[in-house]
Every structure is written in structure tokens, then in C-alpha cells.
Structure 1
Amino acid sequence: MTEQLATLGQLLDGAGTQWRAFDIGRHITKFEKKQFNAIEQAQIPYPYPLAGHAWIAIQFWDSAASKEPYVWFLKFPVDEQSKLVCASRDHFANMVIEALGNDLTGEQADGKLDNNPYVFTPNANKLAAFNAQLKVLLRQPASEYYEYSQLYFSGKLGFDNWQSVAVQGIADFALRLDDDANLSNLQKAWPYLPPEVLQPLSAMLEHVQIPASLSEQLLEHAETAIEHKDTLSLICALRAMSKSQAKGLTAKLVDEVLVSEIATDSDVLLTIAGRCFTLLEDPERLHLFMDNCAHHQVIDELFPSIFADLVAIPSIRPHLLGLLRKENRSEKLARAIGRLFS
């Protein structure tokens, strides 16, 4: 392996590994290698930055070995254009070479990067979803907790008996809706699931392209939740539908939320910005969304924090900057924008 490495991809290729890269800051999204290479060379912006960083998972394995794949969870800063700060990536690559040399998958690799400043540990829900997704990609059996979660969602244990259902089991179930009767059981179970299950379940389903049939059902539940101002149920539906195959149904729900009586609820607005952000690529919907953020009256920092979050996303940035120049803005929105620059 040469000392002058341009990218992590080259580092991994040079070590003779097979590898995959994912964004795990927002949804868990697999990168095509060509796209990831362009990101690494700062030819294109990072598509899903969060809090000023690219949150990346790299799974790699030695094709000649039988050991389980390794995973790096890496956090690199991005610049004002959301492009990767290459100096940080280079620093990490050099630290890897110093610690591991050319052997990235040998036994000596275990624990060597634990205190690396670019390495992070995802939260429990994200980690469980990622592990579940890897098992599916690798065509490996699900975790030991999967069968019990299937039993729970079948209703045979009683939906109030959720205490023994593991988060990893919920993740495995959510990532395997095509297996057995999982989808039909989930559709039957959804109205009866307690919040203690509904919240982690929706956190898993936000990484799944759920089928239209489930989205249709969740839309109905969400519309009832809007009517009753049940923000918890609404947020769970928004999260579960955020990566749906039926994008039009998710858009319909977001549009209904934005003209509802809970349109300025902070948790609802943060969920739309964090999970349904691709729908804000529509300039008119984005205008209405930011107007609702401006009308929120409880958290002073809500508008500037959501603005900063969305303006970093390359697909939304031009529309949000266009809103700064738009004339038909409400007084509240004009003032909120003005405060960004005061």
C-alpha cells in the first residue's frame, strides 16, 4: 500500500477488502461506489449532512477470510458547500495506516481505533437498524431476538406484554417485512401497539421503503392523530412513512400536517425536517414549512436551527436561499429571516 492515499476507498481497496459505504446521519442509505468516490474527492457535496458533518458507516471484509465483516462508523466535518473536509479524512486514513498498516481485518485490528476522534457510536435504535440491514444484505439469519419479535407482532403474546421484546428484534422485524406474514401481522397490530413499541418501531421503519399498502393504512392513522392532536402517533407515522415507496402518500400527509392545528408543534416540525426532508425540495411546500417554523412561539432557536439544518442539504439549499429573496412572505417569516442576519 502506498503512503499517498487519496481516499478511504483506495485505502480499503489497497488492503484487499470488499466494502460498502452508507450514510447513517439521516436515513440509512447505501452509496454507490462511484458516488462515494466523488464525495471523497470533494467533486460533489455530501448529500445528507447533519449538524455540520458527514455521518458514514463503512462495512468491509476480507474476501478470503470467513470472519464477520468489520464496520467503521465515521464522522467527518463538511464545509459551507457541504463538501467533505478532505484534511480530516486524510488525518483518519493516516491514523489507520499507523495503527494497522496494511492489515485492516486481522486480529490486531480489534479495538485499535476505539479512541479515534473520527469514530463514533450510533444510538441504540440506529445501531440496531444498521445491524439488521447488514444481515439482510449479507443474506445472513436475523439475530436471536427476531423470532420472539415475530411472535409479539403476531398478537399471540398480547400487545401489552412488550417488556421482553428487544430493540434488535424490532429492527430485524422491520427490515424483514417481506418475510413470512410480517407485513400482514404488522398491519393488524399497528392500531394496538403501545408507545413503548411504536416509537422504536417507527425509528426502524424510517430506514425501510415500506409498501404502499402499509403507507395507506398509516396515512389513515395519521389523519386521525391530526384530528385528535395526538402528536406522538402522528410523529410515529411520519417517521415510518418517510422512506415509503409511495412518496405521494407521504407528501399528502405532510401537506395535511402543514395546514393543521398542530402545524407549529416543535416535535412535528423537527420530524419533517429530519425525516421527510426530501419533500422540502418542493419550493412551495418549503415556504409553508418555514412559515410554520417562524410562527412557532415556544422555542426561540427552533427557526435558526432548522434553517441551518436544511440549508446544508444540497437539494434544498437553492430553494431555501430563494426564499430569502421572495416577496410574498408573511411578516413573521420576514422577521425570522431578518434575525438570522442581525
Structure 2
Amino acid sequence: MTAQISTLGELLSAAGTQWRVYDIGRRITKIDKQQFAQIEAAQVPYPFPLAGHALIAIQFWDNQATVDPYVWFLKLPLDEQSKLIVASRDHFASMVLEALGTELTGEQADGKLDNNPYVFTPNANKLAAFNALLKRELNRPASQYYEYSELYFAGKLPQDAWQSMAVQGIADFAFRLDHGQNNANLQKSWPSLPLEVKQPLSAMLEHIEVSTVFSEQLQSAIKTSIEQKNLSELICNLRAISGSKAQGLIAQSVDLVLNSDYRFEADILLTLAGRCWEVFVDSERLFKFLDCAANNQQVDGLFASIFADLVAIPTLRPHVLAILRAENRSDELSRAIGRLFS
């Protein structure tokens, strides 16, 4: 890297672009520039690590040259304390400078970073959600698929019309719940939606702060799906509520699950760790959750992967490490912890 450019933020600014950064690994979350500068300087840990990496989306645009913003989806390695490995960031930036100089936008930039080792492609649900979010933030019209989805959720299309719905249309609907009757229509239609719609829709809703009223509805649906032993519905309800501002309702919902017959179920444990991690700052709840993970008999190594996932999250790290020293552990939890170090 050059003496003048030592961070990605400086590279983007030197290119004359405006830019924004988002975490795209766990929940699509905007990272403000001051925090990103601290992350780049390895002064603070990355707040949302996933599998030892920061998965970030950098959106940038040149007001003079382009209409649509460019996006880099980057997978940058983190150290054991979830701090950015600066050498990898430097390597990526030097590759950008070599390929593009500081001309990051325009036709000459197209395809130049396709084989870059730090560039990745998010899955279809994440891409659709991110695209829907950007259109909202830039005050652009939704995709061509949005209107059909809006009609479907309003109950104005036949029940089997979901087969013609695009994932992008579902994402656009989810990110425009404040438009017209969309929020009311979502609440009305949620209980009767086919699983084929509810699954992709819940994958979008987990990135959104759904309303408290809908969160209450989802909590009730979580209780019902436990009682009716409907695992697929339960996972959808948990994903849909996980981005809610109503943290108390999420915590109560997680407690319902941890007291249910599903508490040892691998898919449930992974959903809770991946989507509802904030509620595990409560040490008692975390203790119970890890005990459930230790008792899982379905997936080999599940406890180790969940432990590694949670201990990497800065807000949870001290709570997770404290359990290593806890004295009142069950035999299963003690054995599972012992295997981490064997």
C-alpha cells in the first residue's frame, strides 16, 4: 500500500467515492465510519464475527460517474480476539490498487476483482435482502417483482400463486413493511402462509426490526409451533422475530424453546446461536443454552462449533469464558468443555 493510503476507508475516499459499510455475515447491519476506522486499525474487535471472518459489504458510488452504486462483498480473516488481520486487509487493498488504481468506478472497474481471494458471493437470500435494503436507502423503486408479492400478501392472488413469486419480490416486500397496508397484511397472512413462502420471508425478516405487535404475534406462534411439534414453523418464527427491537419478547421466546422438547434439536440450537445471540448476554440463559448444546446427540462436534461461534462475539466472550470456570456444571457440559481442550 502507498504511504498516503493505509486503510480501505482512505482508499475509497481517495477515489472520490461516497461509501457505506455493512455487516452481512449475521444480520445485515450498518457499521458507522468511525467504528469501521477503529476496526481497520485493529483497535476494537469486529462486532459480528462469523466463522473467524468479517463478512462485509462496502457500497460506494461516484456522484459524477455512475448511477448505480458498486458493492464489494469481502470476507476478511479475524484473529482469535475477533480483531481484523491487518495484513490481509493490506493485501486486498494492494490488489485493488494494482488492478484499478484509484479509479474504482466506471466501466474499467467491471470484473477486475472477480478472482480476488477476499471477494465472495453471499447466498441468494442475503443478496436479495441487501439489494432490497439498498433500494430503500437510496430511495429507488423496488424491483419488478415487488408488486406481485405485495398483491400476494394482501390476499389478492390465488393461494398457489406463491409458485410464481421471486425471492427478490419477497425481500422487497419485507423491507417495505411501512408502505401502505404491508405490515397489517403480513400480520394477517402470517399464520396461513405456506412453508414455501414463510421460509424465504423469515430469512428476510431476520434483518428487519419488525414491530412489537408482530413480535407478540410471533411469540405466540412460537408457543403454538412447540405445542404442535412443528419444527419448520418454529424455526421460521424464531428467524422472523430475531431482528425485533423487542429484546424482552425474543428472550422470552428463547426461554420457551430452552424449556421445550426441542431444546436439544441441532437446527434449533444453530438458529438460536446464529440469530438470537444477543439474548445470551444473560449468563443464566447462556449457561442453559450451552448445556442443551452439550446434550445434543445428533451432530458430532455441534457443541464445539457453537462454543467457537459465541466466544468470538465480543459482547458474549466474557460470559462464555466465565462458563469454563463455573463449578455447578452438569456432567455433559463438563465433558463437552473438556473435549474442547483435549
TM-score, normalised by the number of residues in structure 1: 0.98
Aligned to 1:215: 215
> What are the superposed Cα offsets for residues 154-194 of structure 1, whole Å, 9 maximum, x if unpaired?
11213332111000000000001000110111111111111
> Where do residues 51-130 of structure 1 align in structure 2 (5 Å cutoff)?
51-130=51-130
Would the aligned equivalents of 2:310 and 2:317 in 1 still touch at CA under 8 Å? yes
- How many corresponding residue pairs? 342
Q: Percent identity?
A: 66
CA distance in 2, matches of 1:90, 1:4: 13
Q: Find the residue that maps to 1:197 and give its secondary structure.
A: helix
Match of residue 246 from structure 1: 246
8 A Cα contact 2:65 2:106, kept in partner = no
Q: In the alignment, which residue of structure 2 is the partner of 1:234?
A: 234
2:196 & 2:65 partners in 1: Cα distance? 40
Instruction: Report the Cα distance in structure 1 between the residues aligned to 2:69 and 2:38, rounded to whole angstroms.
Output: 24
> What's the counterpart of residue 147 of structure 2?
147
Aligned equivalents of 1:85, 1:135: Cα separation in 2: 32
Quote the residue 1:332 is aligned against. 332
RMSD between superposed Cα atoms in Å: 1.0
Q: The residue matched to 1:326 in structure 2 has which SS?
A: coil
Aligned counterparts of 1:11 and 1:90: Cα–Cα separation in 2: 11
Matching residue of 2:256:
256
- State the AA in 1 paired with 2:336: A
1:41 is aligned to 41
| 1:269-326 superposed Cα distances (whole Å, 9 cap, x missing partner) | 0000000011111111100000000111111211011111111111111111100000
Q: Which residue of 1 aligns with 2:320?
A: 320
Give the conservation status (yes or no) of the 8 Å contact 1:159–1:192. no
Give structure 1 regions of 4+ aligned residues with deviation exceeding 6 angstroms: none
For residue 21 of structure 2, what is the aligned residue in structure 1? 21
SS at match of 2:160: coil
Deviation of 1:98 (Å): 0.6
In the alignment, the residues of structure 2 paired with residue 167 and residue 196 of structure 1 have an alpha-carbon distance, to the nearest angstrom, of 11
Alpha-carbon distance change, 158 to 222 in structure 1, aligned in 2, over 3 angstroms: farther
Contact 1:210-1:245 within 8 A present in 2 as well: yes
Which has the higher mean CA deviation after the structures are superposed, 190-199 or 2-11?
A: 2-11
Residue in structure 2 matched with residue 186 of structure 1 by the alignment: 186
How far off is 1:63 after superposition? Answer: 2.0
Please give the per-residue CA displacement for 1:29-85, whole angstroms capped at 9, x wherever unaligned: 000100011001100000111011100000000022342000000001000110000
Q: Structure 1 unaligned runs (5+)?
A: none
Query: Is the 8 Å Cα contact of residues 303 and 336 (structure 2) preserved in structure 1?
Result: yes
Residue aligned with 1:210, SS: coil
Tell me whether 167-176 or 220-229 shows the greater mean CA deviation. 220-229
Shift of 1:213: 0.8
- What does the per-residue CA deviation read over 1:121-177, in whole Å, with 9 as the maximum and x for residues that have no partner? 000000000000000110111101000000111112133321110000000000010
> What TM-score do you get using the length of structure 2 for normalisation?
0.98
Report deviation, 1:4. Answer: 4.5
Name the CA distance, whole Å, in 1 between partners of 2:149 and 2:3.
48
Quick one: which amino acid aligns to residue 74 of structure 1?
A: L
Partners in 1 of 2:102 and 2:5 — Cα distance? 12
- Distance in 1 separating the partners of 2:146 and 2:129: 13
Worse overlay, 319-328 or 224-233: 224-233
State the alpha-carbon separation in 1 of the partners of residues 228 and 302 from structure 2: 24
Q: Structure 2 matches for 1:279-290, cutoff 5 A? A: 279-290=279-290
Report the 3-state secondary structure (helix = DSSP H, G, I; strand = E; otherwise coil) of the residue aligned with 2:164: coil
